């Protein structure tokens, strides 16, 4: 399916507004409410809300790096997000699932970048998932959206090419 540039731009914009809007609101609530009351656990103990200001990348990776290295990483991520946006806007032959997956990854990255720039290098994290003795690190809604987008992308890639893509490839190979 070929998506027009206008449809791609509207889709990217909707994904960004929904992702960044929800992410920024939940981060604000975490900073105000959890900052005041500490942590909270939902009944059953599956999800814990606890405030963490993360100077590193996903799940705190790189938090112990010097500030200059973290700043350089932020610049690199910014360029990567710019390239991903250009790819989304300029590539009409992406599968819808792949397009949505990449748009989710981009929007989650942008929302965390907004946080990092506005909060002087920090990203607000506030959720931990616990299953018995296992638990995640502290993360936020944008991180969840990025992981969901990655899983969608992997599933899309494992599904193989569209029937039309296979047919076009066979035609091109034969003459």
Q: What is the pLDDT of residues 50-60, one digit of tens each?
A: 999 999 887 77
**CA-CA distance, 12 to 5, in Å (whole number)?**
10
Place 162 in a pLDDT band, splitting at 50, 70 and 90: low
Q: What is the pLDDT of residues 101-120, one digit of tens each?
A: 999 999 999 999 999 999 99
Of 58, 52, 57, the closest CA to residue 31 belongs to 52
CB 86 within 8 A of CB 15: no
pLDDT band at 141 (very low <50, low <70, confident <90, very high): very high
Q: Can you give the pLDDT at residue 170?
A: 46
Residue from 125, 127, 152, 156 carrying the catalytic annotation: 125
pTM value > 0.85: yes
Q: What confidence category does residue 163 fall into, taking pLDDT thresholds of 50, 70 and 90? A: low
Q: What does the pLDDT read at residue 166? A: 44
**Among this protein's residues, is 23 annotated catalytic?**
no
148-161 pLDDT, tens digit each? 999 999 998 887 77
Active-site residue flag, 125: yes
Ranges 63-67, 159-163, 169-173: which has the least confidence: 169-173
Write down the catalytic residue from 143, 145, 146, 153: 143
* Position 146 confidence tier, pLDDT thresholds 50, 70, 90: very high
Angle at 159 between CA 57 and CA 95, to 5 degrees: 75
Choice among 7-11, 100-104, 171-175 with the minimum mean pLDDT: 171-175
């Amino acid at each position: 399916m070929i998506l027009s540039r206008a449809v791609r731009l509207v889709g990217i914009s909707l994904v960004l507004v929904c992702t960044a809007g929800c992410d920024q609101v939940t981060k604000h609530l975490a900073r105000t409410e959890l900052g005041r009351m500490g942590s909270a656990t939902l009944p059953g103990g599956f999800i814990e809300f606890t405030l963490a200001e993360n100077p590193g990348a996903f799940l705190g990776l790189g938090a112990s790096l010097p500030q200059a290295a973290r700043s350089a990483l932020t610049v690199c991520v910014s360029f990567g997000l710019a390239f991903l946006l250009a790819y989304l806007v300029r590539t009409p032959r992406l599968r819808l699932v792949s397009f949505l997956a990449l748009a989710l990854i981009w929007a989650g990255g942008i929302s965390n970048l907004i946080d990092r720039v506005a909060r002087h290098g920090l990203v607000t994290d506030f959720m931990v998932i616990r299953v018995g003795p296992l638990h995640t690190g502290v993360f936020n809604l944008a991180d969840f959206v990025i992981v969901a987008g990655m899983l969608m992308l992997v599933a899309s890639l494992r599904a193989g090419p569209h029937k039309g893509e296979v047919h076009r490839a066979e035609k091109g190979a034969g003459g």
